[in-house]
Amino acid sequence: MPVNQKTINALKILGLTEYEIQAYIATMSLISATATEISLESKVPRSKIYIVLKSLSKKGFVEIINGKPLKFNVIPPNEVFEKSRSYIKEQLDEAENELNFIYQDQIPSVPAPIWLINGSEKNLKKEIEIISRAKESIFILEGLMFKDESRILKDNLEKAIKKGVHIRAIFNESYDEEDIIKEISKLNLEMKITHTPFIKLVIRDKKEMLITFCKIKENKPLPKTAMGIWNQYNEFVEMIYGIYNYIWSTELLKN
């Protein structure tokens, strides 16, 4: 039974060899069959079919039924892919955590840890990246928001809260009536709404910050003009952190 190249590529990602792919697809069309029948259907040589089918069994793609002769039942694709998806995600998460640890450990050692970030998409990615690294606190000033940002922000703030991160967030009063701000206000964080400049500020653990500016037209940000300054200079971050706290405590803010 022919399948398209994308499906074959997906099976390769799951760790199957060419012969294993041929045998699995053949078993799929037969549902339950002997090694000889699968060999004929798949064109896998009979001298190799038992090795291939045993490998597929170990990988969870077929089930071996004892008898004379042995029979091989195909495992339904939804079961195979669900297990494989979970395994791949687990491996990726472990790799991400380890590499992030190395990355975070090395950034402060860079002689001049200040970078310019152009464009709204890259700034949003950096904002979410910083939030994901937080261990103790996140302070946010959302004087501007880009398209589709609010829900992404809400989801990632919620993840941080679940890790025990303390969050303070200041939003521009122009967002006061938006549903997403009402949703964010339901999270376990400190939140205030006021008139703010059209800037975005994220401070993580008093160690790292991103401040983003962009041109404004008719009270709306122009995403292509967004320019972010990302840095980890402790003295500078602590100074901005102090300014943030001052803004937070002034009477100009309203709940």
Write down the domain spans for the chain. 5-75, 113-249
Which residue in the block uniquely carries the two structure tokens 């002689």? 111
C-alpha–C-alpha distance, residues 168 and 179, integer Å? 19
Q: What pLDDT shows up at residue 92?
A: 84
Q: Is-same-fold flag (5-75; 113-249)?
A: no
Q: What pLDDT shows up at residue 177?
A: 55
Q: What is the average per-residue pLDDT within 221-235?
A: 86
Give 136's contacts (C-beta < 8 A, 6+ positions apart).
165, 166, 205
Q: What pLDDT shows up at residue 55?
A: 92
Q: What pLDDT shows up at residue 101?
A: 73
Cis amide leading into 69 (omega within 30): yes
What is the residue type of 254?
K
- The answer to whether residues 201 and 240 touch, using CB atoms and an 8 Å cutoff, is yes
- The answer to whether residues 171 and 142 touch, using CB atoms and an 8 Å cutoff, is yes
Residue 253 pLDDT > 60: no
Residue 253: is it exposed, middle or buried by C-beta count within 10 angstroms (0-12/13-18/19+)?
middle
C-alpha–C-alpha distance, residues 143 and 175, integer Å? 9
Q: How confident is the model at residue 159 (pLDDT cuts 50, 70, 90)?
A: very high
Q: What share of the chain is helix, strand, coil (3-state, %, to 5)?
A: 50, 20, 25
C-alpha–C-alpha distance, residues 222 and 216, integer Å? 6
**Which CATH number fits the domain 113-249, given the four candidates 3.40.50.2000, 3.30.870.10, 3.10.129.10, 2.30.30.60?**
3.30.870.10
Q: How confident is the model at residue 181 (pLDDT cuts 50, 70, 90)?
A: confident
Instruction: For 59-111, write each residue's pLDDT tens digit.
Output: 889 999 988 888 999 888 888 888 888 888 888 888 887 887 776 666 666 65
Residue 112: is it exposed, middle or buried by C-beta count within 10 angstroms (0-12/13-18/19+)?
exposed
Residue % of the chain over a pLDDT of 70? 91
Query: What is the CATH number that goes with domain 5-75?
Result: 1.10.10.10
Torsion of CA 240, 244, 245, 246, to 10 degrees: 100
